[in-house]
Amino acid sequence: MLQEYMDRKYRTDNKPSVEANLIKNNVAIVGIGQTQYTKNSGRDELDLACEAIQNAVDDAGLKMSDIDGFDTFILDRLSLPMLINSLGTPNVRFSCEVSGGGGAGCAVAVHAAAAVATGQADYVCCYRSLNEASGHRYGRGDDFIEYMPVALTPNYGYIWPLGFVTPLGWAGVWGRRWMHEFNITREQLGWWPVVLREYAQNNPEATYFGRPMTHEDYMESPMIVDPLKLHDCCVNTDGAAAYIITTVERAKDLKQTPAIIAASAQCCPIEQEIQTIYQRPSISGLVETWYVGQELYRVAECGPDDIDVAQLYDPYSIGGIIQLEELGFCERGEGGKFVEGGDNIRIDGKIPCNTAGGLLSEAYLHGWNLVIEGVRQIRGTSYNQVKDVELSMVTGGPGVASSGIILRR
Amino acid sequence: MTVEYNPDQKIPHPAMWGVLYKSSTPFWEGVKNKKIMLQKCKSCGNLLNPPRPMCPKCQSQENEWITAKGTGKIYSWVTFNEAPHPAFKAPYAAVLVELDEGPRIVSNMVDVKPEDLEIGMAVEVTFEDVAEDLTLPKFRKAG
């Protein structure tokens, strides 16, 4: 994987045949649901999850008792048994908790899709619930240690005592290297958050709805973890979101236009652990995003020019822009120039990105909100609807075991 | 400009994590003795950092430990303007040093302010006792 990336040559002779892919065009996202996104929900995460799941079930036109599988990714603080005890789903026969943190933003859908494509379950609910604004923050070092012991792996011993303890720091190191090698400027970075904030002004459910931001505002915002400013970083969110996956065949009897999975991909490349990718020959690019893109294009039999709209997992601006390069929307090292002025990622641009506001301006729902917006673009119900969407891409987080899906009508 | 610590807060200790695998023990034993130790595959010579039980290049589980020269260059860095953990006082920088042997390690500088850091700056190791039971490898400008 790493060698293919260093050579920039994606091999097809060592990949499974596209004909044998049971997910492609056979599985769809049929229901989406969320709670309000707030800064202080005043409710517990189980409570929020139940509401979001009920909304997704209603949206699909299903009954709660139809749900027979559950899927999420690690660093989730919900108890699945308590969730099942509350929802009353009587026939759960599939459950999954994917590794990789935010990288698994789409891998959750991939595993759920595999489950329904192979008959392990009929309707899998992918859920996420967080009180990350009012409660425990993944992005804070002390919270991370205390509440997320699953992350306590030996390699943390090599970075935490040096005060190198948050995702912003881990990503800032490869971000700075990328900026250094390709002369990416601070001014260029700012266009990603500014355009996302514009999208959020049309999305009443977005955290930053009603709070516009100019490029000057961005430039004046404080530096949090140099090279990242406050507005380079995702919001903190209380809220929950869920979506339901089933076969295209079953989707025919349901309420909504299905968002059919044209391709799905997950990868776990070597030398990565929560974004500490530092032993790779080069850290100014991301093998995982490149690989996911190449695999999605191979399976969907399309290329970057065919993608109409993209939701890229962007916990910070650099994570969004560098993905534009690795997914082939622009040349390597050209991401800064590509976003300059913002037009390329606006609604009529070359590739409209994170059209609900993304993780920076809509919500940090660990990518669930990105999948949901990807589905809305297929249904034609986005607050920032791109015209005649045929293919809608969603990706997982950068710098970790990542994932992606391409949805179609 | 070394990192300043809050005396009433416990610095995250490597042992909290390192004990999970025996692979990392020689590194921390080395640091106590003021050396940077690197794991080396006995079969193909690959340097394994962080250490691990199997060489990812040749799958050998036979390895030895060598002493690094302790010199290298700054490969990248970040500056924390807000302390992300109560043990540390902001602002401070975390640097990624590329050792002359090849592997890169995360550390702090003891004599260079964050605003004076540069990619490519030549550095050499020094060791700092940050707590009664914790020594850390840190770096200063070389020469």
Q: Let me know if residue B3 belongs to a domain.
A: no
Hey, is the C-beta of A142 within 8 angstroms of any chain B C-beta? yes
CA angle (A120 as vertex; A114, A125 as ends), nearest 5: 70
Instruction: Find the catalytic residue in A127, A208, A218, A313.
Output: A313
Report yes or no: A279 at the B interface, CB cutoff 8 Å.
yes
CB A263 within 8 A of CB A391: no
Query: Mean pLDDT for chain A?
Result: 94
For residues B102 and B48, state if they share a domain: no
Cα–Cα separations (whole angstroms), residue A82 to A33, A46, A73, A344: 20, 8, 17, 45
Angle between helices A317-326 and A167-182 (to 10 degrees): 50
Looking at beta carbons, which residues of chain A come within 8 Å of B110? none
**B48 and B98 both lie in a single domain:** no
Confidence (pLDDT) at B1 = 63
Please report whether residue B55 resides in a domain: yes
| DSSP states along A334-368 | -HHHHHTTSGGGSTTSSS-B-TT-IIIII--STTH
Pick from A156, A162, A224: CB nearest B94 = A162
B48 found inside a domain: yes
A-B contacts at Cβ under 8 angstroms:
126
Q: Which helix (H) or strand (E) holds B21?
A: none
Number of domains observed in the structure of chain B: 2
Complex confidence, ipTM: 0.94
pLDDT at residue A15 tops 80: yes
Rg (CA), chain A: 20
pLDDT at B21: 64
Q: Which residues on chain A are in Cβ contact (under 8 Å) with B139?
A: none
Domain C-terminal end among B25, B46, B67: B67
Residue A225: partners with Cβ closer than 8 Å, 6 or more residues away: A166, A168, A169, A172, B78, B79, B80, B81, B82, B84
Question: Which of the four pLDDT bands, split at 50, 70 and 90, describes residue A153?
Answer: low
Asked if residue B100 and residue B63 are part of one domain, the reply reads no
Same domain (yes/no): B85, B75: yes
Instruction: Give yes or no for residue B16 having a pLDDT over 80.
Output: no
With contact defined as beta carbons under 8 Å apart, do A251 and A29 qualify? no
Give pLDDT tens digits for A287-325. Answer: 999 999 999 999 999 999 999 999 999 999 999 999 999
Distances (CA, A) of A101 to A134, A186, A366, B2: 20, 27, 8, 32
Residues B98 and B133 in one domain: yes
The strand pair at A124-131 and A69-73 is best described as: parallel
Answer yes or no: is pLDDT of B11 > 80: yes
Mean pLDDT within B40-51: 94
CB count in 10 Å sphere of residue A204? 9
Where is average pLDDT lowest: A164-173, A206-215, A260-269, A284-293? A164-173
Q: Å from A164 to nearest chain B CA?
A: 6
CA distance B31 to chain A (A): 11
Judged on CB neighbours under 10 Å (0-12, 13-18, 19+), A84 is middle
Q: Which CATH number characterizes residue B92's domain? A: 2.40.50
Which of A174, A225, A276 faces B79 most closely, judged by CB atoms?
Answer: A225
Section B17-36 average pLDDT: 80
Query: Do the beta carbons of residue A355 and residue A393 sit within 8 Å?
Result: no
Please name the residues between 235 and 264 in chain A that touch chain B, using a CB distance below 8 Å. none
Q: What is the per-residue pLDDT across A48-65, written as a single tens digit (0 to 9) for each?
A: 999 999 999 999 999 999
Tokens of A356: 């609900």
Q: Between chains, do A162 and B16 touch, taking CB under 8 Å as contact?
A: no
Does a structural domain hold residue B4?
no
Residues B49 and B61 in one domain: yes
- Is B75 inside a domain boundary? yes
Specify whether B26 is located in the same domain as B76: no
Q: Which residues of A touch B87 (CB under 8 A)?
A: 163
* A162 closest CB neighbour out of B79, B104, B107: B107
- φ and ψ at B64, to 5 degrees? -135, 175
Q: What is the pLDDT of residues A330-349, one digit of tens each?
A: 999 999 999 999 999 999 99
Give which of A381, A401, A408 is closest to A105, Cα–Cα.
A401
Distance CA A335, CA A319 (A): 11
pLDDT in tens, B56-77: 999 999 999 999 999 999 999 9
Domain that holds residue B62: 12-67
| Nearest chain B Cα distance for residue A128, angstroms | 25
Q: How many CB atoms lie within 10 A of CB A101?
A: 26
User: Given pLDDT bands bounded at 50, 70 and 90, which one contains residue A150?
Assistant: very low
In the prediction, which pLDDT does A148 show?
53
pLDDT band at A151 (very low <50, low <70, confident <90, very high): very low
pLDDT per residue as tens digits for the range A63-114: 999 999 999 998 878 889 999 999 999 999 999 999 888 899 999 999 999 9
Contacts with A, B 29-48, CB within 8 Å: none
**To which residue do tokens 């604004």 refer?**
A133
Same domain, residue pair B138 and B103:
yes
Q: Can you give the pLDDT at residue A145? A: 65
SS3 B136: strand
Cβ atoms A168, A141 nearer than 8 A? no
Q: Residue B140 has which token pair?
A: 């200063």
Window from A95-109, A196-210, A369-383 with minimum mean pLDDT: A95-109
Residue A3, min C-alpha distance to chain B (Å): 12
Does residue B38 sit within a domain?
A: yes
Say whether pLDDT at A258 is over 60.
yes
User: Is the domain of B20 the same as that of B75?
Assistant: no
Looking at the structure, tell me whether residues B138 and B88 fall in a common domain.
yes
- Clarify whether residues B93 and B136 are in a common domain: yes
Note whether residue B36 is domain-resident.
yes
Counting residues of chain A whose pLDDT is more than 70, the rounded percentage is 97
Q: Is position B7 within any domain? A: no
> Are residues A168 and B78, on separate chains, in Cβ contact within 8 Å?
yes
Task: From chain A, pick out residues whose CB is under 8 angstroms from the CB of B18.
Answer: 154, 157
Q: Are residues B87 and B138 in the same domain?
A: yes
Q: Residue A278 catalytic?
A: no
Which pairs from A255-258 meet CB under 8 Å and 24+ separation?
A: A255/A59, A255/A60, A255/A61, A256/A30, A256/A31, A256/A59, A256/A60, A256/A61, A256/A379, A257/A378, A257/A379, A257/A380, A257/A409, A258/A28, A258/A29, A258/A30
Does A159 contact B96 at a Cβ distance shorter than 8 Å? no
Q: Identify whether A218 is a catalytic site residue.
A: no
Q: Quote the minimal CA–CA distance from A274 to chain B in Å.
A: 14
- Residue of B128, B120, B100, B121 lying closest to B38 (CA atoms): B100
